[in-house]
Amino acid sequence: MYDFNKKVVVITGASRGIGETAAHQFAKAGATVVVSSRKQDSIDQVAEDIRKLGGKTHAIVCHNGDKTSRERLISQVVEQCGRIDVLINNAAANPYFGPVLDTGYDAMKKTIEVNIEGYFHLSQLAGQQMKKQGSGVIINTASVNGADPAPMQGIYSVTKTAIMAMTRSFAKECAAHGIRVNAVLPGLTDTKFASALTQNEAMLKMILPQIPMGRMAQPEEIAPAYLFLASDQAGYITGVNLPVDGGFLA
């Protein structure tokens, strides 16, 4: 359905979950996919799996909370691939699950560095390259928590709300340069990242009744939203925060 031949797609947090699934789907659609995460062995495995299926890929390490690492990622992508057509900011940190008043300073700082500073800076760096090209797409992974903060996930929810505002801000300023900026808001999804919720029966009993579809999502159900927003079919869509949540925010 989608054609990403000759397109270079950079995905952070691509070693597992939604990021890994999106990487496979973009590769299947013809893109050269740059998979990135903190650990080389993890993304090497994802890249190997993509190549076995005939896809084109590069694996480049990036710690989303480190300025030098972010700069190195973008420079290496441009050096190896010549351009950046799509940036998917998907890496995230959520080191603390508990009462907001008890949130440790280090956990707060790490969550902000990865989820806000990392997204903002990578969007700047990729956006500068896209401006030179005259086109590009940036897609941020926010969360339904950004629209409706969840109990015990205070600082994480705050950063996801910031990402939603960031998406609209970049969209308004970057449209003149041919750059579209949108966000995907996943609902509860069966990933290792969300295991504090998906493996907690008490939490599931509280959350699932709030989802009209009555179940959590699989990564394969979230990833297509990124392909659509990155595609030419979404050419007039920018500044949108798109929930993919089984009706949770309805």
Q: Is the dihedral of CA 68, 70, 76, 82 positive or negative?
A: negative
Cβ atoms within 10 Å, residue 143: 30
Which residue of the set 2, 96, 119, 156 is catalytic?
156
Please give the Cα distance from 10 to 13 (Å, whole number): 10
90: left (phi over 0), alpha (psi -120 to 50) or beta: alpha
Please indicate whether residue 2 is annotated as part of the active site. Answer: no
Tokens for 159? 């950063």
CA distances for 99 relative to 102, 117, 151, 154, 195, angstroms: 5, 24, 8, 7, 18
Burial class (CB in 10 A: 0-12, 13-18, 19+), 239: middle
Residues belonging to the active site: 156
